[in-house]
Amino acid sequence: LYFQIMDPVKAMYEIENLPLAIEKLTQTTLRNVIGELDLDETLTSRDTINMKLRQILDEASHKWGVKVNRVELQDINPPRDIREAMEKQMRAERDRRAQIIDAEGSKRAAVLQAEGIQQSQITTAEGQKQSQILEAEGDAQSRIRRAQGEAEAIRLVTEAIKASNGDPTNYLIAMKYLETLGDLTSGQNNKVIYMPYEATGVLSSVGGIKEMLDSAKKLNS
C-alpha cells in the first residue's frame, strides 16, 4: 500500500496511530472486496481488486489527510481449509462448465441435424412439386395439341364436304355413330351389332368422304 500524507495536521490529530489504522482499514476492505467476488474472479482479477481497494481506501483515509496512490495485492494465501474448499469449488466449477460445453455441443449438433433433415425434406418436396407441375403442364400441352389436331381435322373435312356440296352436319353425326359402334364391338362377346335404321342414311354419307377430299384437293390445286 502506497500512500501520501497531504495534511500533516489531520494525520497527527484526526487519528491516533495512522499506520495501524490504515493497516486495519486495508484488511477490512480487502475482506469485503473479496467477499463480493467468486472464486475465479478472486484468483484472476487481481488488478480489479487493487483498483477497488485503492478507491475505497483513498475515500476512507481522506479525513486523515492521507491520499492512497497505489495498492498492490501481491499474493492470496488463505488458510488450508479455505484452500481445500476453494479447490473443491474450482473442480466443481470446471465440471459444471464442461457439462455446459458438452450440452451446448449436443444441442448445436441436434439443431444442425434437424435443420439438415428439414432442408432435405423441403428439397424433396420442391422436387416432387416441380415434377408434378411439369407433368401437369406436359399433359395439358398434350391435350391442347390433340384438341388442335382434332379441330384441324374437322376443319379440313368440313372444307372438303363444302367443296363437294355436302352437309358437314351429317358427317359429324356419322362420326359419332362410328365411335359408338366401336365401343359396342370392343367386347369379346359382341357378335351382333344392332344399328338404328335412321343411321343407315347418315352413314351412307361417310362412304363418299374420300371422293369429297379428292374433289377438294382438285379444287385447291
- Residue boundaries of the structural domains of the chain: 2-76
* pLDDT tens, residue by residue, 174-215: 666 556 655 555 555 555 544 554 445 544 544 444 454 455
Give the mean pLDDT of 113-134.
86
Instruction: Check whether 100 has a pLDDT greater than 80.
Output: yes
**Which superfamily, per CATH, for 2-76?**
Band 7 domain (3.30.479.30)
Distance separating alpha carbons of residues 191 and 189, to the nearest angstrom: 6
pTM of the model: 0.37
What is the distance of C-alpha 139 from the center of its chain? 34
Q: How far is CA 108 from CA 85, 95, 156, 215, in A?
A: 34, 20, 71, 82
Between 25-29, 43-47, 53-57, the lowest mean confidence (pLDDT) is in 43-47
**Please, which residues bridge with residue 5 across strands?**
66
Query: Which pLDDT score, from 0 to 100, does residue 174 have?
Result: 60
Give the mean pLDDT of 29-57.
80
Query: Which pLDDT score, from 0 to 100, does residue 214 have?
Result: 52
